[in-house]
Structures are given as structure tokens and as C-alpha cells.
Amino acid sequence: MTQVLLIFLPILFALLLPMLHKKISRVHTGWFVLLVPFALVLYYASFVPKIGDGPFTSTFYWVKSLDLSITSHLDGLSLLFSLLITGIGTLVVLYSIFYLDKKKEQLHNFYFYLLMFMTAMLGVVQSDHLISLYLFWELTSISSFLLIAYWYKRDKSRFGALKSMMITVFGGLMMLGGFLLLANAGGTYSIRELIANSSTIAESPYFVWMIVLILLGAFTKSAQFPFYIWLPDAMEAPTPVSAYLHSATMVKAGIYLVARLTPLFAISEYWIWFVVASGIITLFWGSFFAVKQTDLKGILAFSTVSQLGMIMAMLGAAGIALHVDSPQQTIFAFAAYAAIFHLINHATFKGSLFMIAGIVDHETGTRDIRKLGGLMSLMPISFTIAAIGSLSMAGLPPFNGFLSKELFLTSMLSLKEFELFNFSTWGPIIPWVAWIASIFTFVYCLYFAYYTFMGKGKVDKLPKKPHEAPIGMLISPIILATLVVVIFFIPNVIGKYFIKPAVLAIQPQLYNASSDVAIHVQAFHGFTPELKMTIGVVLIGFILFLTLKKWQPLYQLQPDKLSLNNLYDRMMRLADVDSKKISELYMTGAIRHYLMYMFSFIVVIVIATLFWKDGFNFSFENTAKIGLFEIIVVFVLVASTVTVFAARTRLTAIIALGAVGYSVALFFVIFNAPDLALTQLVIETVSVALFLLAFYHLPKLSRHEEAMPFKMRNFLIALGVGIMVTLLALSAQSQKLIPSISQYYKDTVYTEAGGGNIVNVILVDYRGFDTLFEITVLSIAGMAILGMIKLRLSKKEKKSNENE
């Protein structure tokens, strides 16, 4: 139970922030918030030595009868992500204390959103229940929307927040559809049980649809092509948000989902091809267009897109291990190891680079790389951190990015050895694309570091006089940059305690908890193909960087009309303008028109369903005889109804309407339903009395001439509704698909509910919540009516006072 409660610790603490903020106005709110992620990272770190013994699970049922629960399942994969979420979260909160001014910013709002997001991410990576995972998944979209729009007075902030919300929520809804299909095929919502039952699920006719829908959710969240367009616009968020959400956590949610479900879906060629193809295309696309950007955070945004594609491609290759025998299994298990290793490395070097971009913006007043340069001597510590992060991302030693980049090239080269699923045809192309993308990765890393800190200085033209950031703002990026270097020298220690347990969770079919993932990482393996590719990356990358100003204008040749961003903008305009025009065609403001639409639709759907399901097999057995009295009541009912429409005065119409209600009450009496009859009589009496009380205020009944087609249309709709109800009643009476519940009521109304009146017991006990909700609705409606009456009276009083 403790595991589940600690997921909600951040958001529970966030609820105290508004009160805490007022009492500690002299102290930065971040110092108190810092305690939450720091305590959590210590708690999750305590699991590291013992996670190899097996997972830790804790469950809280919120609707046990529906099997709805929040299950915290900590294995190697979820523990690694939990450590990243809380560890990077601790550093981001520390960084934000010095980055955000407590006098100018609404800090309680910022930290509330940040802690909400932390809870959402912990819920995503620890949930073993599909529905709870989806709820936390959407909470990440909501909280990231609030964080991106934190500076809500800026148009770009609101636009970026809306864009991220639209795309990620669309993917989330698609993913929910895939989850429901998956749970229906597997008979459970538990991810562990679904993975154990993967062979049966694969036989479902909807298996491919599950893959497509779930991957849509993963790809939109992790900014894969073509859904990446929300990530660059999300850079309008404060830099701590970018460093946290868009480098280490939120964008990794899709990576986590793919890794978690790889044992379930990787038995399908569609899963492998979709994941590998999406990853490799995203890698190339992001790295190529990163060089086009002029905003520091824009460069980092496209680099994040590129790096996420790199990890996704490795996870796709990892799924191939299920289709090959040893020793090829070891080769493709290598891809899973590489993916998790680069996941860790990316969080370290990209987090530090985002923080440095924020420092540059904070100390110079701009993020435009065209206005920067020559800051190395003025900001030496920031330059050192930027150089370490950039060179690591470029894949150079002695930094951790070099090791995981080499593993990435190995896993891509291994695809040439796989002969199933047409990889023998297309597989050789993938290493070439990966290599070309690595070249552009090298170029944009040099582009970021050189044009910001080196080159010709433009200090006099900057909005602020630049100087080194305060030490408090530098602590977090220094820690991350230190990890970049340290991991390079102890990769196998990281592998033993963090990567191996995660790989065991991704590929449980190949390993057990006591086995050893026989992968040893070192900086030099000889003159391997990977090392030769790296040398080629450096040589060609340097040439492209030195000639950057000559070929960079080529990006301007791309028409804006052909961009994905333009497509998104056109779709939004279509939804805003054209949908409004369409709505105006049927949203006339007349209630009778809306009733016509609804009744027409219901008639068509119900009658079509009766035809489709062969529901016209009417049976008149066991039906009561129709006597003279029933015929007379029916005649009175019909005559009264016609009179309502034919009446020339309001009084006649009101009396005829009362006759309709009393006729229905007589039917209840005939069919031995005295309670319903009494209720009907009371309602009709009150209704008629109210009509008569308001009779004076009703307008005179006028007989305006109307076009005949309009009257005929109303008549046909009314006739259709009558026929539909009659057919539906006959069909329901004639065909019993399931046993009637009435016998259960008869048997238990006295023994179980302790009542003698079956109708009252049904309303109060068996359907007590329905009655409670109805009473609540009526109470709300009553309060609304009372408010409107008082408002009208106050207006009249105000008007009378003005006249006086």
C-alpha cells in the first residue's frame, strides 16, 4: 500500500502549496517542494540492491467489483523510470529556485503543476492496470499543458500548450481504444497477465488494430514523426519545464510504453516494423532539421526528437530477439540494453544542455543563436558544461553518449542479419540512414556549442550584459555533466544495477531473474565497423560544420505550405471556421428543430436495428385479453391527444392535456400498478394546476398559416416515433434474450431488503444511487430556478428604484 500512496505524495503536497505559499512568502517555495522529489528518490534508490530478487507490487482497489485498481508494480524498468522522474525532478526543482524570481512569478501555481506532473509520470511507469495507466497518461497531458502555458499572457505559450494538448490527447484516445481491445482479448486489465497470455491475444482478429492504436498513443507522446511538431512549440515553457518534461520524463512516456509492451506485441512483424521505421525516420528528420533552428531551445527540441527516434529504433530491434535463436538472441538483446543505456545517458546530457540554454537566456536576455557568440570567457563554467553535454550527444569519448551511440550502431548493423519480415531487403538501408543521421547529430552539437560560446563576440548587442550564472543555478547542470563523464568510466556498474534489471523486464522470455545479461561495455573493442562509422561521422561532420553557412540556406527552399506545422494550422482553422459554418446550418436556436433531429435519428437507428437483428418475430402468447374498458380508455387517450393539437384556445388545450395524463393513469390501474397510477395522478393534477395558475401569463393561441411540407414533416416524424415505440414494445415483449430480473425482485424484496412494497424497495434500495442522483439533479435545478427568480426580482427592484 505504501508504494501506491507514494505515487500520490507529490500531488498531495501540492494541495498544501496555496496555504504554504502565503505563510512563507519570504522564502522561495521551491525549497519546500525540493523535499518531495528528494525523499522519493531516496525511497526508490533503496530498491536498487534488491530489485534483482523480483518485482515489488502493491494494489489499491477503487472499484473492486469492476476490477478497477491502482497497482504499483516496481520491476527493473519501472524502477529505472521512477529514479529518473524523481532524480531529475530533484535537480530541476533546485535549478528552478534560482531560475524563477519569487517576486515576479506565481510560484505556487508552477510547483503545483510540476508536482501534479510528477505524480502522473510515476503513475504511468508503475501502473500494472491498463485503465489506471491511461488515467495517469492523460494527467501528464493536462499537467504539461498547464506547465507549457505557465506564462499564459504570451500568445506563443498558449499556442504551444494547446498544440501539445491536441496531439497528445488525440494519441491518448487512440491508445485507450487499443487498451480496451487488448483487455477484451486477454480477459484482464493487468499488464503482467496480458504479457503472460500473449500467444492467445495474438490470435485475436483485432491484434493489428491493438498495435496501431497503442503505438499512436506512444508515438504522439514521444514526439515521433509526424507527430513531433508539438515539441518545438512546447519550448515556450520555462526552462525548468523543458529540462524536466521534454528531455527526461514526459517524452519518455511513449518510450516506456513501447518497452513495457514489447514482450506482448513484438511477436508481430507489424510491431517491429512500425517501431523501427518510426524510430529511424524520426532520428533522421530531427537531426536534419535541428541545424535549421536559430533558437537554442529549438535546436535542443529537434535534437530531443532525434534522440527519441534513436531509442525507439533500438527498442524495435530488441523485439526481433523473440524470432531468432542463439547466438542471434544475444545480438538483439544487445539492442534492448543499448536503448536503456542511451535512455539514461540522454537524460543526463540533454537535461544539462536545457539548463545551460536557460542560463544563457537568463544572463544574456536572448536565445537567438544569431545574436550569441564569444561567451566562453565570460561564462566559462557554462561553456564547460555545454561542451560536455554537446560532445556526449555527438557521440565522442570520453563521454557516456559515445558508448551508447556505439551500441546503437551495433544494433542497427545487426538488422542486416535478420532475414524474416523483409528485413533482408530493407534491413541494409537502416544502418545507412542511422549513419547519415549521426552525421547531422554531430553537426548540430557543434552548431549549438560553437555559435553560442565561441566565434566572434557580440556582447555589445545583447539585451543584457552577460556574466556567469550564480552558483545555485549551476549546481544541477554540474551534477548532470559530472554524471556524463563518470558513466563513461563505469558503464558496467550502471549496467549491473540499472540496465540489466530493465532489460529483464523488456525481454522476460529470454532471461530469468537469476541469469546474467552477458554484455560488457567498454570504450574500445578494436577497429570494428562501428568505430569506422564513428570516424566517418566525425570527418564528414566537421566538413559540413565548416561549410555550414554555405549550405544552411538550403533549408529556406522548403515552402511553408508543405510543412507539417502548416498542415496542423490548416486543420485547426478548418475546425474553427468551417465547423462553425456547418454548425450554423443546424444550430437554429429553435427547440423544435433539435427535437426533430433527435427523434428522426432515434427512429432510423432503432428501426434499422430491428431489421438488422430480425427483431420483428412478434409473439402474442401469454398476453392479456383486451376488453371493452381498455378500448374505451385508448379511444379517450387518442381523442384527448388530437384535441391538444386541434384546440383553438389555451383552456381547451390544457384540459385535453390533463385528460391524456389521467387516461394513462387508468392504464396503470388496469394493469395493477397502483403506485404508478397514484404518482401519475399527482403529477397530472399538479401540472394542470400549474398551467391554470400561469394561464393569465400565457400568450393567446394563434393559428398562423404554415407551409404544408413543414406540417407533413412533423406528422411523419411523430408517426415514425409512434411506430418505433410500438414495434419496440412488441419486440421486447416477444423476445427475451436474458431472464427477467423481476423474479429476483419478487424473491428478495422482503428477505433481503426488508420491504413489502416492491416499487418503493426498488427505488430506495436496489436503485438507491439512481434515486439519489435524480434528487441531486432536481435540487440543482431548483437552486438554479430560485437563482433566476431572485435575479429577475432584483432587476425589477433596481428598475423601480431608478424610476423613483
C-alpha cell at 36: 518531495
Which residues touch 676 (CB under 8 Å, ≥6 apart)?
Answer: 668, 759
> Residue 68: beta bridge partners?
63
The highest-confidence range among 464-468, 481-485, 547-551, 618-622, by mean pLDDT, is: 481-485
C-alpha cell at 641: 391527444
Q: What are phi and psi of 57, to 5 degrees?
A: -130, 140
Question: 0.85 cut: is pTM over it?
Answer: no
Distance CA 639, CA 652 (A): 13
DSSP three-state, residue 496: helix
What is the residue type of 409?
A: L
Where is pLDDT greater, at 104 or 697? 104
pLDDT tens column, 136-174: 999 999 999 999 999 998 999 999 999 999 999 999 999
C-alpha cell at 457: 563576440
Nearest Cα to Cα of residue 310 among 397, 410, 215, 381: 410
pLDDT tens column, 489-515: 999 999 989 999 999 888 776 655 445
Q: Is the pLDDT of residue 422 over 80?
A: no
Nearest Cα to Cα of residue 116 among 91, 145, 94: 145
- What b/e sequence results for 135-150 when a residue is b if at least 16 CB atoms lie within 10 Å of its CB, and e otherwise? bbbbbbbbbbbbbbbb
Instruction: Band the pLDDT of 792: cuts 50, 70, 90.
Output: low
Residue pair 73/124 in contact (Cβ under 8 Å)? The answer is: no
Q: Is the pLDDT of residue 648 over 70?
A: yes
Distance CA 175, CA 209 (A): 10
Give ∠ CA 639-645-647 in degrees, rounded to 5: 90
Q: What is the pLDDT of residue 563?
A: 85
DSSP element (H, E) containing 73: strand 68-74
Instruction: Band the pLDDT of 517: cuts 50, 70, 90.
Output: low
Radius of gyration of the chain (CA): 34
Q: What is the DSSP letter of 399?
A: S
pLDDT tens column, 771-788: 888 889 989 988 988 888
* Mean pLDDT of the chain, nearest integer: 87
DSSP three-state, residue 649: coil
Nearest Cα to Cα of residue 538 among 396, 352, 661: 396
Q: What is the pLDDT of residue 704?
A: 44
Q: What is the pLDDT of residue 424?
A: 72
Nearest Cα to Cα of residue 225 among 270, 275, 293: 275
Instruction: Band the pLDDT of 804: cuts 50, 70, 90.
Output: low
Nearest Cα to Cα of residue 341 among 261, 279, 406: 406
Q: What is the pLDDT of residue 709?
A: 47
Instruction: Band the pLDDT of 85: cuts 50, 70, 90.
Output: very high
Q: Is the pLDDT of residue 224 over 90?
A: yes
Distance CA 659, CA 427 (A): 80
C-alpha cell at 362: 537568463
Q: What is the pLDDT of residue 708?
A: 41
DSSP three-state, residue 509: coil
Q: What are phi and psi of 617, to 5 degrees?
A: -85, 80
Distance CA 498, CA 216 (A): 28
DSSP three-state, residue 204: coil
Residue pair 399/485 in contact (Cβ under 8 Å)? The answer is: yes
Distance CA 730, CA 723 (A): 11
